[in-house]
Structures are given as structure tokens and as C-alpha cells.
């Protein structure tokens, strides 16, 4: 194997090519990215970068010189138009790039509101890439009115930044509560209260009928006929795996690009990692949208491209910064049957599936997060009553 091409220059792509070199691959590596900048961090976009507290260069995962120093050909502004699997070629318009092995790290794309309800009006934004945040930055003026559609992490992080910048903020959520897909009611209630203390209005069980305006956004109309004025709108209604290229090439899809446990797609010469990839997990398939997964899965795929034969075993963790609170999450809470609340010294929520600890949400409590993460990784389940007792020592529970 002499030539490896990686399509997608996000966190997963950057991690994969760096790992290939670190593991001794000395062939040609080409990393293709559609954006005009080197691979960069996405989480700070809706936080420190949008607040103006982080310069562009600090977003970059590595200095641009790293790729040249490592003999990695980084091509920005490179849009892949197709794959020829039989010839093992990547097409960039009229240009053809051959490969011996190919990795797809195409990431995910934000879901948009339809044009028929005003989703394409000037003044409607999503928060996914650098260009999105740069485009909306001038809208963050003190006193401006913003309506945020979606009460997930992206929408709530944008709401926190807007509130800190002195904007008038309203969040619309169709579900009975925020964070309905990803967190327990206890966590949702705590986060809702945090936003309320900062003056953010969160309207749950509230559907959007359409976005108002002709030349640009002037407001929104709700399903019950209520009209809300708005100077701009942020849409945070989730993301979808970027699978168009894989689909057009005839690769198997299943909630993303389907891979085996080692990261191979239905074509043994093509691999996938990151937000775009789903992999076998506990009798089903799992796709994780997180920085940590993008790094770990990409490094596992790089190892396997070089013959390691290692199944990917995720140890998920996530985080969300809102105001001065860091919400840290370890494990996956899918299928939980009970939540234990601990308040010592800060608040944390511990998810149990029957008699096993499977996840923890730590709200401004890094100690609870670290202990909970270790418990989950080591298969330790503490006594729920002791866990709920603020007088109990977490470290002792870990050692029990």
C-alpha cells in the first residue's frame, strides 16, 4: 500500500493522517478538505470564538506547517465530486486522484428549515462550520433580538453566548422539555433554570409555523399564531451524517456509512470514521457525534489500515460549556431506568440501567465526572443510596 487518501479534513481526518505517520506509514498521504482553512476545532465556534475570545489561528488543530513537515499533502478548497471504486480513484471535478486505501471522514451537516417556511431568508443561520459563525458574528449586537430554533446543545450554547453579549434571546423547542433526546429530565431542568437566570426565554412545546420577512428576517410566527419579532434566527435542530459521496459510490449506509467493528465499509479498500460512520455496538449499530469519538475512532481506523486488526471499543465522553458552567458527560445513557441525583458540592446525575451504572452528567462538578468516568470504564457500580448521600466520599465509592 503506497497511497492513502482521506476525504474530510475535520477532527477525524486530521487525527487519522497524523496517526498514520506516527505509526510508521511512509507512503503518500493526501488529506482533502472542502473548507479554505486547515483542520480546526469545532466546539469553540459556538462558544469562545463566537464570543470573540479566541483568534482564528488558535482554532487550528495543528499549525499548517505540521502537514508539510510530516509529508502529508493537505488540500483545502478541494471538493470531491465522486469515487470510482473499481479504478480506486477519487474525482475532484476533472482531476483524478488514485488511492490504494481510502478513508471517508466527511463528518456531518446541519439540518435546515425548508425554504417554504423561510428557512433560506437572509438572517437565518446554522452553527456548524467556521463560515457559519463568521457570517453571523456581526449580528451579535447588544440589544438585538434572536430566536433560536431547537433546544439541544448547539442551540443552548448559542443562547448562552447571545445572552452574555446582551442580546434578547428566545429559544423554541417542540418537545415538552429541552435536551429531550440526550439527557434526563433532571439535567434538562437544571440547564433550563440556568438559562432563565440569565434572562433567556425558553418556550417548550412550541412549534414554529414560519419565519417572517421578505428581504431578510423580521420575526417568526408560531404554530398558535403568536408573532415574535427577531433581528435574526439561529437554527439548531440537529445534524445528519454526510453520506452523499458514500451513497453515490454504492457503499452500504445504516444511520451513516456502515462499517464493521474495525472501520471497514462494504468496500474493503474504503474505511470510515467520525460523525459520518456507524459501527456495531451491543447488538445494534451506533454513531457518535463527538470530538472524542472522532479522535479515538480515527486513530483505531488508522491502525487497522496498517494491519492492526483492532475492534473499536468506544469509551464515550462529551461536554458543553454554557455561561460559567461546564456540563461533562461520561458514558451513554440509552435505555436508562433510574437517575440518582447527587448534590455535593455541585450537582451530578447518575444514570442506571437496572443495576448497572451507565452514564453520569456532572454540572460544574469535575470530580464527579472523573470518578463517574472511571467507574463506567472499570465496570464499577456504586450503591445508589451512598451515591445520593452528599456526605459520602466519591473516591471511596470508586474503591469499594
Cell 462499517 belongs to 259
| Segment 149-197, tens digit of pLDDT | 999 999 999 999 999 999 999 999 999 999 999 999 999 999 999 999 9
Starting at the edge strand that comes first in sequence, how are the strands of the sheet with 124-126 ordered?
124-126, 232-235, 145-149, 168-172, 201-203
Confidence of residue 83 (pLDDT cuts 50, 70, 90): very high
Mean pLDDT of 243-264: 98
Mean pLDDT of 96-117: 97
Supply the pLDDT for residue 344: 79
Starting at the edge strand that comes first in sequence, how are the strands of the sheet with 347-353 ordered?
317-322, 325-331, 356-363, 347-353, 338-343
- CATH 3.50.50.60 domain position(s) in the chain: 3-109+239-305, 118-235
| Segment 299-342, tens digit of pLDDT | 999 999 999 999 999 988 999 999 999 999 999 999 999 999 99
Cell 459520602 belongs to 392
Reading the block at residue 61, the C-alpha cell is 488543530
257 burial type by CB count under 10 A (0-12 exposed, 13-18 middle, 19+ buried):
buried
Structurally, what CATH architecture does the domain formed by 3-109+239-305 represent?
3-Layer(bba) Sandwich (3.50)
Taking Cα atoms as reference points, which of 249, 257, 266, 269 lies closest to residue 3?
269
Q: H helices of the chain, where? A: 11-22, 48-51, 56-59, 64-69, 130-136, 153-164, 185-197, 244-248, 291-305, 366-378, 384-388, 394-399
Supply the pLDDT for residue 399: 78
- CATH 3.30.390.30 domain position(s) in the chain: 324-399
pTM of the model: 0.94
Give the DSSP letter string of 59-128: HBSS-HHHHHHTTEEEESS----EEETTTTEEEETTEEEE-SEEEE---EEE----GGGTTTSTTEEE-S
Taking Cα atoms as reference points, which of 25, 26, 42 lies closest to residue 295?
42
Residue 233: helix, strand or coil by DSSP? strand
Look up the CATH number of domain 324-399. Answer: 3.30.390.30
Reading the block at residue 40, the C-alpha cell is 480546526
Mean pLDDT of 79-95: 97
Q: Among the CATH numbers 3.30.70.890, 3.40.50.2300, 3.40.50.300, 3.50.50.60, which is that of 118-235?
A: 3.50.50.60
| Segment 340-374, tens digit of pLDDT | 999 978 999 999 999 999 999 999 999 999 999 99
Average per-residue pLDDT in the chain? 95
Contact yes or no for 95/101 (Cβ under 8 A): no
Q: H helices of 350-393, where? A: 366-378, 384-388
Taking Cα atoms as reference points, which of 289, 240, 297, 296 lies closest to residue 42?
289
Confidence of residue 400 (pLDDT cuts 50, 70, 90): low
Amino acid at each position: 500500500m503506497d497511497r492513502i487518501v482521506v476525504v474530510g479534513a475535520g477532527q477525524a481526518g486530521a487525527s487519522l493522517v497524523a496517526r498514520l505517520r506516527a505509526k510508521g506509514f511512509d507512503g503518500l498521504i493526501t488529506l482533502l478538505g472542502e473548507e479554505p482553512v486547515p483542520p480546526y476545532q469545532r466546539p469553540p465556534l459556538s462558544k469562545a470564538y463566537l464570543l470573540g475570545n479566541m483568534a482564528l489561528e488558535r482554532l487550528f488543530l495543528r499549525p499548517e506547517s505540521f502537514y508539510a513537515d510530516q509529508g502529508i499533502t493537505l488540500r483545502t478548497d478541494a471538493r470531491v465530486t465522486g469515487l470510482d471504486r473499481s479504478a480506486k480513484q477519487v474525482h475532484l471535478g476533472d482531476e483524478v486522484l488514485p488511492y490504494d486505501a481510502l478513508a471517508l471522514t466527511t463528518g456531518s451537516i446541519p439540518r435546515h428549515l425548508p425554504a417554504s417556511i423561510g428557512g433560506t431568508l437572509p438572517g437565518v443561520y446554522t452553527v456548524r462550520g467556521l463560515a457559519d459563525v463568521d457570517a453571523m458574528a456581526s449580528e451579535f449586537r447588544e440589544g438585538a433580538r434572536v430566536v433560536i430554533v431547537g433546544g439541544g446543545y448547539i442551540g443552548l450554547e448559542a443562547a448562552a453566548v447571545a445572552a452574555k453579549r446582551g442580546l434578547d434571546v428566545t429559544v423554541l423547542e417542540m418537545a415538552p422539555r429541552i435536551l429531550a433526546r440526550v439527557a434526563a429530565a433532571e439535567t434538562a431542568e437544571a440547564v433550563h433554570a440556568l438559562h432563565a437566570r440569565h434572562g433567556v426565554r425558553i418556550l417548550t412545546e412550541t412549534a414554529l409555523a414560519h419565519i417572517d420577512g421578505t428581504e431578510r428576517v423580521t420575526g417568526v410566527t408560531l404554530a398558535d399564531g403568536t408573532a415574535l419579532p427577531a433581528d435574526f434566527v439561529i437554527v439548531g435542530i440537529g445534524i445528519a451524517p454526510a453520506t452523499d459521496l458514500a451513497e453515490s459510490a454504492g457503499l452500504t449506509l445504516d444511520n451513516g456509512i456502515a462499517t464493521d467493528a474495525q472501520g471497514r465499509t462494504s468496500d474493503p479498500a474504503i474505511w470510515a470514521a467520525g460523525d459520518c460512520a456507524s459501527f456495531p455496538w451491543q447488538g445494534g449499530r451506533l454513531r457518535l457525534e463527538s470530538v472524542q469519538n472522532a479522535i479515538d475512532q480515527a486513530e483505531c481506523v488508522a491502525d487497522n489500515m496498517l494491519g492492526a486488526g483492532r475492534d473499536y471499543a468506544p469509551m464515550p465522553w462529551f461536554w458543553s460549556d454554557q455561561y460559567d458552567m461546564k456540563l461533562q458527560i461520561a458514558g451513554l445513557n440509552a435505555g436508562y431506568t433510574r437517575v440518582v441525583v447527587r448534590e455535593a458540592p455541585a450537582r451530578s446525575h447518575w444514570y442506571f440501567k437496572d443495576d448497572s451504572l451507565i452514564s453520569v452528567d456532572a454540572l460544574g462538578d469535575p470530580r464527579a465526572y472523573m470518578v463517574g468516568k472511571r467507574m463506567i470504564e472499570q465496570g464499577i457500580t456504586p450503591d445508589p443510596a451512598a451515591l445520593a448521600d452528599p456526605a459520602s466520599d466519591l473516591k471511596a465509592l470508586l474503591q469499594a
